[in-house]
Amino acid sequence: MSGAYAVLDATGWSLEEGESVGGEEKEWIRAPDGALWLFKPRTEHPTWVQGEDWAEKVAAEVAARLGVPAARVELAQRGGRRGSISLSLRPEGWELQHGSVLLAGLVPGHEPKSRDRRGHTLDNIRRVLAPVAAPPDLDVPAHVTAFDVFAGYLLLDALVANQDRHEENWAVLRPLPGQGPVTLAGSYDHGSSLGFNLTDQRRALVLGRDGVDGWAGKGTAQRFERATEGRLTLVGLAAKALSLCSPAARAHWRGRVAEVDAAFWEQVVARVPQLSDPARRFATKLLAVNHGRLRNEL
């Protein structure tokens, strides 16, 4: 097994702009090699610290293992603050257009932040992605659609317990004229995963009494239309998405889930530096539980 994930020092990287999407503080910063990264500091409370940074990193590693296209993520610190950095998915000059914009043209009166999430359904996502190409250079069967790949994003969400797949957490990339088709952007923003906001006391309680299986089963697709798919578990939503895919894509994603060795979950979490024992045990168990649920229900 490789050593601990590195924590990059981004203190001297130049500030490009703030990030307007989402409620937390974020900064676009430019690395010395010219690459553009999004720095997201972790949330620090008076008596405990949330784990958005390591959850984001672990989710990116899980995505790579599944073959899900996703933003590259590294642990980082900037000006004394710990967090994570995500490499921009948008090529220079291209436009990254969030799902909320696409759905607004399909669902009259669509409001991304409404409580009922009306219109944010798998069927509508499949419709708006119909003219969109899948991301290039993927190890997937020929002729897969953008929605076929999007279903892989929901598999990732189910594995890492990410309930934050709202309309601004998936997007398409619009190129400069003559530079190719509109494509589905890679997956991004996975910090709300793996029980990132639990205290160690709560993790220990779940591990010791309530059971991670029961905790995981309560995770619903709350960012989808409340009256329909928002009531499904994350695993149930992933299963439904796969049922809407092409047979080749369905077989591909099932195969990628099945081929992950059980030891991988322990290894990927073990590489997070300075992680508490309750957080490490909880995240490892949660990944293993969700992996088993997916294998049984897909």
> Is pLDDT above 70 for 1?
no
Number of folded domains that form the chain: 2
**60 and 120 fall within a common domain:** no
Reported confidence tier of residue 19, pLDDT bands at 50, 70, 90: low
Task: Establish if 189 belongs to a structural domain.
Answer: yes
Please indicate, yes or no, whether residues 180 and 281 belong to a single structural domain of this protein.
yes
Give the pLDDT band of residue 23 (cuts 50, 70, 90): very low
% of the chain exceeding 70 in pLDDT? 97
Residue 1 domain-assigned (yes or no): no
| Residue 37 within any structural domain of the chain | yes
Answer with the residue of higher pLDDT: 18 or 176.
176
Residue 289 has pLDDT above 70, yes or no: yes
The single residue listed with the structure tokens 């503080």 is 25
- CATH number at 175 reads 1.10.1070.20
Give the model confidence (pLDDT) of 167-195 as tens digits.
Answer: 999 999 999 888 889 999 999 999 999 99
Residues 109 and 173 in one domain: yes
Residue 26 has pLDDT above 50, yes or no: yes
CATH of the domain at 32: 3.30.200
Give yes or no: residues 217 and 272 share one domain: yes
* 262 and 115 co-located in one domain: yes
Query: Domain boundary residue among 38, 66, 87?
Result: 87
Please give the residue range of the domain that contains residue 245. Answer: 95-297
For residues 288 and 191, state if they share a domain: yes
**Residue 2 included in any domain:** no
Tell me what the mean pLDDT of segment 159-168 comes to: 96
Q: Which residues on neighbouring strands pair with residue 75, listed in sequence order? A: 7, 84
- Answer whether residue 21 shows pLDDT above 50: no
Handedness of CA 97, 99, 101, 106 (dihedral sign): positive
d(CA 255, CA 140): 11
What's the average model confidence in pLDDT over 13-26?
70
The reported pLDDT for the residue numbered 22 is 47
Name the domain boundary from 87, 119, 148.
87
Query: Do 186 and 40 reside in the same domain of the chain?
Result: no
